[in-house]
């Protein structure tokens, strides 16, 4: 009797891991040995389970899939299929993955829940994997790496489809943030937040939000990954910036001078999100005194972000949103109770950005 092909799934999405596990387990001749949430766990499971083949996502915390694939082909070659929303056939990332040694690339469907739809094609590739000489694939990958035959691989790992939500608030913001975060599902896009608070208060505030929300809410530490299901709050008296490490969004925490009289400053956060995430981002400015974040929200809108300002009727202080609206930064002006729903719409692609009037 022919032995089943042992498969290890590496994907940071719990929904995708479950869907692929369930669907592939129904396929004759295939045995799912396990599923890992990131490359570091995957590395240990490869050593323990010795799979015949792995499926690998690109956008993951701690290490992106393309970097892991290159390391894998160099030190422990194993047939690898890339399954990612970044790998549409013929795109730069798909070519970079093939150059790095992947035996094939498959694009995830737009909705994680429908990932089972690609199972038939994935199962076909898995069954044929044993006929592939992975040693030759690894040798080709090494040659590509040494010659740097394409510029695509240099930039491909810096692409991403993960969405980011940036929220800024001040006076009245603790209640406003609570009302925005608590209705959100645990699968919501990663959120970064700057709320004007002194040092020593943000840790307990993040813990309270974490207890109330389905999302994981944490006080930011330098290098924390911004991933779906996680909301990161700027520490009191520290600026928070969005940065990028390969395909991974993460945060940078720093002291620095006050901006718009504040630290953390909403302006600093919004400007970084506009630069790093652009069209993949949503900016929300909530109740607060002054004008912090108003120019940054306009920068986000100019970068193609969806931008939202809380309306006057639901604000404790209609200062920051008012100035942001006056400066043309808001695509949408929304009541506080509707902002969580708009985040859900943004995540599904139903809420769009609009250009500011000339």
Catalytic residue among 11, 57, 292, 311: 292
Q: Residue 222 in 3-state DSSP?
A: coil
Calculate the CA 104 to chain-centre distance.
23
Catalytic residue among 11, 196, 224, 272: 196
In whole angstroms, give the CA distance from residue 32 to residue 51: 9
Which are the contacts of 5, defined by CB distance < 8 A and separation ≥ 6? 29, 30, 31, 52, 53, 126, 127, 129, 130
Does the annotation mark 104 as catalytic? no
Cα torsion 96, 127, 113, 40 to 10°: value is: -60
Does the annotation mark 153 as catalytic? no
Helix axes 173-181, 336-348, angle to 10 degrees: 40
Does the annotation mark 196 as catalytic? yes
Nearest to 252 by CA among 269, 267, 237, 274: 269
Catalytic residue among 170, 188, 272, 294: 170
Place of tokens 């719409």: 345
Q: How far is CA 250 from CA 134, 221, 245, 276, in A?
A: 33, 10, 7, 10
Nearest to 303 by CA among 155, 190, 154, 164: 164
Looking at the annotation, which residues are catalytic? 170, 196, 292
């Amino acid at each position: 009797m022919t032995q089943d092909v042992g498969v290890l799934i590496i994907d940071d999405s719990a929904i995708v891991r479950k869907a692929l596990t369930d669907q592939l387990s129904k396929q004759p001749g295939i045995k799912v040995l396990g599923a890992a949430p990131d490359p570091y766990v995957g590395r240990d499971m490869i050593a323990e389970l010795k799979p015949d083949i792995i499926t690998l996502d690109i956008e993951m915390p701690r290490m992106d899939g393309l970097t892991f694939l290159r390391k894998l082909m160099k030190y422990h070659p194993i047939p690898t299929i890339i399954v990612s929303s970044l790998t549409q056939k013929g795109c730069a990332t798909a070519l970079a993955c093939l150059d790095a040694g992947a035996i094939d690339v498959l694009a995830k469907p737009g909705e994680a829940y429908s990932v089972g739809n690609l199972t038939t094609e994935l199962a076909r590739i898995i069954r044929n994997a044993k006929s592939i000489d992975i040693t030759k694939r690894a040798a080709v990958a090494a040659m590509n790496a040494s010659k740097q035959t394409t510029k695509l691989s240099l930039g491909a790992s810096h692409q991403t489809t993960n969405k980011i939500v940036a929220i800024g608030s001040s006076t009245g913001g603790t209640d406003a943030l609570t009302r925005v975060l608590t209705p959100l599902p645990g699968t919501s896009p990663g959120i970064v937040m700057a709320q004007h608070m002194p040092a020593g208060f943000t840790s307990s505030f993040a813990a309270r939000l974490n207890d109330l929300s389905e999302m994981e809410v944490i006080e930011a530490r330098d290098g924390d990954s911004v991933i779906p299901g996680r909301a990161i709050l700027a520490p009191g008296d520290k600026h928070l910036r969005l940065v990028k490490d390969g395909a991974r969004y993460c945060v940078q925490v720093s002291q620095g001078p006050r901006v718009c009289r504040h630290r953390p400053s909403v302006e600093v956060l919004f400007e970084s999100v506009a630069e790093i995430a652009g069209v993949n981002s949503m900016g929300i400015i909530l109740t607060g005194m002054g004008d912090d974040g108003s120019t940054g929200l306009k920068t986000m809108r100019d970068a193609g972000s969806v931008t939202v300002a809380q309306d006057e009727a639901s604000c404790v202080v209609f200062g920051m949103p008012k100035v942001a609206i006056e400066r043309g930064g808001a695509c949408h002006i929304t009541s506080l109770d509707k902002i969580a729903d708009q985040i859900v719409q943004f995540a599904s692609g139903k809420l769009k950005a609009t250009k500011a009037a000339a």
